Structure 1
Amino acid sequence: RPEIDRTALRDLLLSSLAPGTVVWNHKVTAARALEDGRHELAFANGTTTAVDLLIGADGTWSRIRPLLSGAVPQYCGISYLELRLSDAPTRHPDAAAVVGPGILFALSDNKALMGHGGQNIHLGASLRVPQDWITASGVDWSDTDAARNALLKEFGDWSAELTDLIRHCDQGIVPRLIFALPIGHRWEPSPGVTLLGDAAHVMSPYAGEGANLAMLDATELALALVEHGINTGQAQTNQAQTALAQYEAAMFPRARAAAEASAAGLDLCFADDSPRALLDFFTGMPTSP
């Protein structure tokens, strides 16, 4: 399971596209079905457009999802403070040695420091807390020094090797709440519109499948559209709907399995006796001969 920095992945994908394929400054604020079977998108810059085929790939709080489903992501019980240590081998060699080039899991008492190493360390300081903990804490999380001090207090009995990851992190600690759609989220087919990635099946990150699923969704949807002639611009509505149905039939069970694994992973990582359950999980996995 090799890892890749998300920024590098984004740049690889964007650089593969013809200039102008992605149109910036067009944040979707609303979507509605038109009487002719198309959909209209309204953008934050005041413009609108009508489309024949609408693919909602717009994340956890998708503006497209309500066209298909009334499901709303729910808080998973975990709040996450995003930390970065840039140019770690040069600026923070001790931290780089602790995290290494792969993934760090440091777990105890419903708390965690987890993330990816490499040239730039990207970590989350996570806690199982009520949904209002970020706001009710009284901490000004935009003040990096105040945020560091608050986290160092929460992780006060942890090893200095680990708390140094908080102590020496870059400016800008970003608080996030972990949300997920109901396991098995699905919708009835609707002409001309579908979802992929987090818009379709946002889940907690504790199975590491979110970006993988999004890329597989996109690939299989593209292949289905090409198979049914959508790329020629000559496809009929029934051909487009056949392509969407083919994609959704494979995506729904795959997403359900990943969501179940993600929910189980959350409970492995955040427990009174963690990391015992996670250690048991990994040591129980088969090894290659």
Structure 2
Amino acid sequence: MAPGQGIFAHREPDGTLHTYVALQRPLDWIAGVEASGPAALGRIAREFEGWAPALTALITDGETAPVFRPIHALPAGHRWQRTPGVTLLGDAAHLMAPAGDGANLAMLDGAALGQAIAANPGDTETALAAYEEDMFPRSAHAAAGADEVLQACLGEDAPRSLVDFFDSAFSTQ
């Protein structure tokens, strides 16, 4: 990792190696690389000039075409005004950078919404307001954590910031 870029890889139980490349680039840059077809892998690898050949080979020697996935996120602490009869949950309510909380938050949202509806039979508005009252701070906390992880991985101090992040996480145990 380095500021604005990283190469991540993991091996599946069947031996398949998955490589993920992270680059902080504008969407039009991504669209240009995506449109370059077979040359895309070389174009992406050039962003890592000076990196160890074993790492850039994770990009150039892949057996499949790259899949581009821009990261979109709502600002941490995002809220909306109550709209009668409507609420949001999961990514629709709190879209954030991937950090391991997304699916868990979506399931928790569904359970919390169900509990709020069950606790307020016949009063949907009270149920929705109660659900949102609990969901907003919970999701703001998770979004702030996701931002922290993204900055640790790709921020100005990367990779030192990621080492510090893990160091602080394990030193408190």
Report the TM-score range of the alignment, normalised by the length of the smaller protein.
Answer: 0.7 to 0.9
1:206-259 CA deviation, whole Å, 9 max, x = no partner? x32222211211121122223334xxxxxx3xx112221221111100111111
Deviation beyond 6 Å, 4+ runs, structure 1: none
Structure 1 letter corresponding to 2:42 = N
Residue among 179, 191, 205 paired with 2:72? 179
Identical counterparts, % of pairs:
42
Q: Is the 8 A contact 2:19 2:59 kept in 1?
A: no
Q: CA 1:252 to 1:177, structure 2 compared with 1: closer, same or farther past 3 Å? A: same
As a proportion of its length, which structure holds more strand? Answer: 1
Distance in 1, Cα, partners of 2:117 & 2:128: 8
Matched residue pairs, number? 171
Structure 1 letter corresponding to 2:149 = G
Q: Is the 8 A contact 2:34 2:68 kept in 1?
A: no
Residue among 102, 107, 111 paired with 1:210? 102
Q: Which residue number in structure 2 is paired with residue 72 of structure 1?
A: none
Structure 1 letter corresponding to 2:128 = L
Residue among 155, 160, 164 paired with 1:271? 155
Please tell me the root mean square deviation across aligned C-alpha atoms, in Å.
2.4
Q: Is the 8 A contact 1:152 1:166 kept in 2?
A: yes
- TM-score in terms of structure 2 length: 0.83
Q: Is the 8 A contact 1:196 1:217 kept in 2?
A: yes
Residue among 19, 29, 39 paired with 1:133? 29
Instruction: Say which SS state the counterpart of residue 126 (structure 1) adopts.
Output: strand
Distance in 1, Cα, partners of 2:19 & 2:162: 18
Instruction: Say which SS state the counterpart of residue 177 (structure 1) adopts.
Output: coil
Unaligned stretches of 5+ in structure 1?
Answer: 1-106, 230-235
Instruction: Say which SS state the counterpart of residue 110 (structure 2) adopts.
Output: helix
Q: Is the 8 A contact 2:33 2:43 kept in 1?
A: no
Structure 1 letter corresponding to 2:4 = N
Distance in 2, Cα, partners of 1:191 & 1:203: 25
Structure 2 letter corresponding to 1:223 = Q
Instruction: Say which SS state the counterpart of residue 261 (structure 1) adopts.
Output: helix
Distance in 1, Cα, partners of 2:19 & 2:128: 37
Matching of residues 146-161 of structure 1 within 5 Å: 146-161=39-54
Residue among 213, 219, 225 paired with 2:111? 219
Structure 2 letter corresponding to 1:192 = G
Larger Rg: 1
1:116 offset after TM fit, Å? Answer: 4.8
Distance in 1, Cα, partners of 2:96 & 2:9: 17
1:44-87 CA deviation, whole Å, 9 max, x = no partner? xxxxxxxxxxxxxxxxxxxxxxxxxxxxxxxxxxxxxxxxxxxx
Q: CA 1:272 to 1:248, structure 2 compared with 1: closer, same or farther past 3 Å? A: closer
Q: Is the 8 A contact 2:48 2:56 kept in 1?
A: yes
Instruction: Say which SS state the counterpart of residue 175 (structure 1) adopts.
Output: coil
Q: Is the 8 A contact 1:139 1:150 kept in 2?
A: no
Larger RCO (CA within 8 A; separation ≥ 6): 2
Distance in 1, Cα, partners of 2:127 & 2:18: 38
Q: Is the 8 A contact 1:183 1:260 kept in 2?
A: yes
1:279 offset after TM fit, Å? Answer: 0.2
Matching of residues 1-289 of structure 1 within 5 Å: 107-114=1-8, 116-119=10-13, 120-135=16-31, 137=32, 140-141=35-36, 143=37, 145-205=38-98, 207-229=99-121, 236=122, 239-287=123-171
1:122 offset after TM fit, Å? Answer: 4.4
